[in-house]
């Protein structure tokens, strides 16, 4: 038994080392630096609560947090609806395994290409002279090009949904594929309509997948700074942007304090979600 | 076969729209990158040309694209190999409970859900405060591992959850040493999944942005270079670069899928001689 533990530790050693140096130590460093002081060009060790006091008493912080939560909730709702529908279609309406795998891969491939390129690629669609405006004008729906298509909350959320729906599709599809098909037959035989089967059988059994997808999407949107920066044309802010701004101004202690609060928020949210699902069992 | 229900057709339409939504924008910039020399960032096309691709090959026109591509490629390979090796070892370790395995598991989850900018900021701070030079192959490499390893490990957990242990028992009964069991039984069986882990390792590293931002030093990786371009380049050369790097990613994905498929076939052919009769 002792021997087992030793082999386990040896096998896990490289992993632990990487996480210790590049995850645990950086978090510790951020916590330490969040108590430091800063001048305009340098930072110095100290133990003061100034950064936190400033953050927690500024209503900008609360507005930015509210905005971040708004992005997270709206993106979550859309990715869940689209992701669930796509996964449902793949799992229950496609009958051959080969086709299921092929279509699933088709959904997965964009995830493995560059996020930044995928954001850039919305410009010709949404711009003032973009495809969307051209089409709407030629159909006579609008007379003037719409200004809010690009560089607005709309485009930010559109990009989030575009980038992250996949993180819903994959876990939900994975859970759905493990549902025993005879349960659905039983429901149908017992006289359930299609909607009743969906609502009373499939959705409850898919909950773990939905939870894992939710964890991914919430974590990605809460921690994002680049999508908001790029798709809002620097006109909207979220917490990530706040951190990035401070970094740009070399105000590392204040960036660290914001980062600590963001981390605590995200971990509390994810921790709550994790109570509803046992990830190791779902893999 | 039963006839298709009505909902099938509605859902098929939805799925097709979803695929258009996923691929449409990328296809548009693919088309627009062939914009004529006078064309802009949006339609209409003013002629068709390779002008903007030629621009990319003229070094002075826009930043150090080829240098950053080389760095991204090498870094991607480094991350890929490390991710595969560390994930396999980690996956093997987690098959048995060991002291601290729960803590380690939650660290992996943390590594996955932590806002990327924290890793960037934290690693950057450690390096700068200890006077080490940040470099893509040291701090950048480690920061990217915190993103690729969780994916690799989750795949390995999924693989080992479905692993039939009787193969190992059979090997042990035949007198194989623990190392021989791993080398000749476990690894060949999980090989196709390792291709998946390698694919994730490479592509996630190749496209990584946020965790590399403050950890790569003065030599940019390709995504950082592209992001820099978005603020000061307003010609379709941006689209040309986007098209090229996306095409490169697709090529890599295709190669990996092909290798996985070949491995699977080989495994199916050599894995069992059931039904072939006695020789």
- Closest CA–CA distance from residue B279 to any residue of chain A (Å): 34
Q: What is the mean pLDDT of chain A?
A: 89
Of A238, A244, A245, A209, the C-alpha closest to A222 is A238
Locate B161 and state its tokens. 């959850």
The per-residue pLDDT for A33 is 92
CATH number of the domain at A73, please.
Answer: 1.10.3720.10
Average pLDDT of B259-277? Answer: 74
Q: Please give the Cα distance from B93 to A206 (Å, whole number).
A: 29
pLDDT surpassing 90 at residue A169? yes
Rounded CA separation B213/A219 (Å) = 19
Query: Contact at 8 Å (CB) between B153 and A19?
Result: no
**Residue B32 pLDDT more than 90?**
no
A243 to chain B, any CB pair closer than 8 A? The answer is yes
Please answer whether residues A228 and A50 qualify as being in contact, where contact means their C-beta atoms are separated by less than 8 angstroms: no
Report the alpha-carbon angle B42-B44-B47, nearest 5: 110
Which of the two residues, A139 and B274, has the higher pLDDT score? A139
Structural domains of chain B in order of their starting residue, each with its CATH number? 84-224 (1.10.3720.10)
Six token digits for residue B58 = 């003229």
Domain presence at residue A273: yes
Q: Residue B235 — pLDDT band, cuts 50, 70, 90?
A: confident
**Cβ atoms of residues A232 and A214 within 8 Å:** no
> Residue B44 pLDDT > 80, yes or no?
no
Q: How far apart are CA B117 and CA A240, in angstroms?
A: 7
Where is average pLDDT lowest: A107-111, A249-253, B272-276? B272-276
The residue ranking higher by pLDDT, B201 or B42, is B201
DSSP code per residue over B103-123 = HHHHHHHHHHHS-HHHHHHHH
Distance between CA B13 and CA B8 in Å, rounded? Answer: 9
Token pair for B238? 């941006």
Least confident of A36-40, B127-131, B186-190: A36-40
User: What pLDDT was estimated at residue A1?
Assistant: 47
pLDDT digits (tens, 9 = 90+) for A213-269: 999 999 999 989 889 988 888 788 889 889 988 888 888 999 999 999 999 999 999
Task: State the angle between helix axes of B116-129 and A203-223 in degrees (0 to 180), rounded to the nearest 10.
Answer: 40
- Dihedral Cα B251, B257, B258, B264, nearest 10 deg: 170
Using 50, 70 and 90 to split pLDDT, how confident is the model at A151? confident
Report the predicted TM-score, pTM, of the whole model to 2 decimal places: 0.90
A252 within domain boundaries: yes
DSSP code per residue over A170-202: HHHHHHHHTS-HHHHHHHHHTT--HHHHIIIII
Shortest Cα–Cα distance, A221 to chain B (Å): 9
Please give the radius of gyration of chain B, using alpha carbons only, rounded to the nearest integer.
Answer: 24
The model's pLDDT over B60-110, given as tens digits with 9 standing for 90+, comes to: 555 678 888 899 999 999 999 999 999 999 999 998 888 888 899 999 999
A222 touches chain B (CB under 8 A): yes
Q: Is A23 contained in some domain?
A: no
Count the neighbouring beta carbons within 10 Å of the beta carbon of residue B152: 30
Chain position carrying tokens 């490390």: B82
Indicate whether A32 belongs to any domain: no
> How many residue pairs bridge chain A and chain B with CB atoms within 8 Å of each other?
251
Domain membership of residue A29 (yes or no) is no
Torsion (CA) A247, A253, A257, A259 in degrees, nearest 10: 30
| Arithmetic mean of pLDDT, A190-218 | 91
Q: Is residue A121 within a helix (H) or strand (E), and if so which, with residue range?
A: none
Is residue A13 within 8 A of residue A235, CB to CB? The reply is no
Q: Please report, in angstroms and rounded to a whole number, the separation of the first and last CA atoms in chain B.
A: 41
Task: Tell me the chain A residues in contact with residue B97 when contact means C-beta distances shorter than 8 Å.
Answer: 8
Residue B41 has pLDDT above 80, yes or no: no
- Report the percent of chain B where pLDDT is more than 90: 41
Confidence category of residue A16, pLDDT binned at 50, 70, 90? very high
Comparing A140-154, A196-210, B102-116, B239-253, the range with the smallest average pLDDT is: A140-154
Confidence of residue A192 (pLDDT cuts 50, 70, 90): confident
Asked if B152 contacts B110 with a C-beta cutoff of 8 angstroms, the reply is: no
Query: A-chain residues within 8 Å CB-CB of B107?
Result: 19, 23-24
- ∠ CA A60-A63-A66, rounded to 5°: 150
Q: Which of residues 114-153 of A touch B (CB under 8 A)?
A: 114-118, 120-125, 127, 129-131, 134
Q: Can you tell me the mean pLDDT for A131-157?
A: 85
Domain span holding position A269? 59-282
3-class SS string, B138-194: HHHHHHHHHHHHHHHHHHHHHHHHCCCCHHHHHHHHCCCCHHHHHHHHHHHHHHHHH
Rounded to 10 degrees, the C-alpha dihedral A157/A160/A164/A165 comes to: 30
User: Is A104 a domain residue?
Assistant: yes
**Most trustworthy range by pLDDT among A72-81, A103-112, A140-149, A227-236:** A72-81
Q: Please give the ipTM for the structure prediction.
A: 0.89
CA–CA distance, B36 with B255 (Å, rounded to integer): 32
Q: Which residue of A has its CA nearest to B11?
A: A89
Contacts of A19 in chain B (CB under 8 A): 104, 107-108, 111, 146, 149
A1 and chain B: CB distance < 8 Å anywhere?
no
**What number is the average pLDDT over the span A114-135?**
85
CA distance A57 to chain B (A): 23
Count structural domains, chain A.
Answer: 1
**Residue in B221, B223, B210 with CA at minimum distance from that of residue B124:** B210
**Dihedrals φ, ψ of B234, to 5°?**
-120, 30
- The answer to whether residue A64 sits within a structural domain is yes
Mean pLDDT over residues A39-44, rounded? 78
Whether A1 is in a domain gets the answer no
Pair of tokens at residue A270 = 């994810």
Highest mean pLDDT among A67-81, A149-163, B38-52: A67-81
Mean pLDDT of B138-160: 93
- Kindly determine whether residue B115 and residue A240, on different chains, have CB atoms separated by under 8 Å: yes
CB under 8 A, 24+ apart: contacts of A42-51: A42/A250, A43/A250, A43/A252, A43/A253, A51/A253, A51/A254, A51/A256, A51/A257
């Amino acid at each position: 038994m002792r021997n087992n533990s030793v082999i386990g530790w040896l096998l896990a050693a490289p992993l632990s080392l990487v996480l210790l140096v590049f995850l645990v130590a950086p978090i510790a460093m951020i916590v330490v630096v969040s108590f430091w002081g800063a001048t305009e060009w340098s930072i110095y060790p100290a133990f003061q609560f100034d950064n936190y006091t400033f953050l927690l008493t500024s209503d900008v912080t609360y507005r930015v947090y509210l905005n971040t939560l708004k992005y997270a909730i709206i993106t979550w709702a859309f990715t869940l609806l689209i992701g669930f529908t796509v996964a449902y279609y793949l799992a229950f309406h496609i009958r051959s395994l080969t086709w299921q795998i092929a279509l699933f891969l088709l959904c997965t491939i964009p995830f493995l290409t560059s996020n930044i390129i995928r954001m850039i690629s919305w410009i010709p669609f949404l711009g003032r002279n973009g495809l969307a405006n051209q089409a709407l004008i030629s159909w006579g729906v609008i007379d003037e090009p719409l200004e809010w298509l690009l560089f607005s909350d709309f485009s930010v959320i559109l990009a989030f949904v575009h980038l992250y729906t996949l993180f819903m599709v994959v876990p939900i599809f994975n859970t759905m594929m493990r549902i025993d098909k005879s349960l659905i037959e039983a429901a149908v035989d017992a006289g359930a309509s299609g909607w009743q089967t969906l609502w009373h059988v499939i959705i409850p059994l898919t909950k773990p997948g939905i939870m894992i997808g939710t964890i991914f999407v919430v974590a990605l949107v809460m921690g994002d700074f680049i999508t908001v920066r790029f798709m809002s044309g620097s006109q909207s802010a979220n917490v990530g942007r706040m951190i990035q701004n401070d970094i740009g101004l070399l105000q590392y202690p204040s960036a660290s304090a914001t980062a600590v609060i963001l981390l605590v928020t995200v971990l509390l949210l994810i921790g709550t979600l994790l109570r509803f699902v046992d990830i190791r069992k779902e893999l | 076969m039963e006839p298709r229900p009505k909902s099938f057709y509605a859902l098929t339409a939805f799925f097709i729209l979803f695929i258009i939504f996923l691929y449409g924008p990328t296809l548009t910039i693919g088309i627009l990158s062939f914009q004529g020399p006078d064309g802009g960032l949006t339609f209409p096309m003013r002629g068709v040309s390779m002008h903007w691709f030629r621009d990319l090959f003229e070094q002075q026109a826009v930043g150090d694209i080829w240098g950053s591509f080389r760095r991204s490629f090498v870094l991607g390979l480094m991350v890929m190999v490390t991710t595969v090796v560390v994930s396999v070892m980690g996956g093997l370790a987690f098959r048995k409970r060991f002291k601290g395995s729960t803590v380690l598991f939650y660290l992996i989850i943390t590594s996955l859900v932590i806002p990327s900018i924290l890793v960037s900021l934290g690693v950057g701070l450690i390096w700068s405060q200890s006077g080490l030079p940040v470099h893509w192959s040291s701090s950048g490499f480690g920061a990217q591992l915190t993103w690729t390893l969780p994916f690799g490990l989750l795949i390995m957990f999924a693989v080992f959850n479905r692993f039939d242990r009787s193969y190992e028992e059979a090997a042990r009964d035949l007198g194989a040493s623990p190392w021989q069991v791993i080398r000749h039984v476990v690894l060949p069986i999980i090989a196709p999944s390792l291709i998946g882990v390698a694919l994730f390792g490479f592509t996630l590293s190749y496209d990584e942005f946020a965790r590399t931002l403050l950890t790569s030093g003065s030599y940019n990786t390709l995504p950082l270079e592209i992001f820099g371009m978005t603020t000061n380049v307003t010609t379709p050369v941006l689209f040309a670069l986007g098209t090229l790097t996306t095409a490169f990613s697709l090529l890599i994905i295709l190669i990996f899928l092909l290798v996985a498929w070949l491995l699977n076939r080989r495994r199916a052919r050599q894995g069992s001689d059931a039904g072939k009769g006695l020789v």
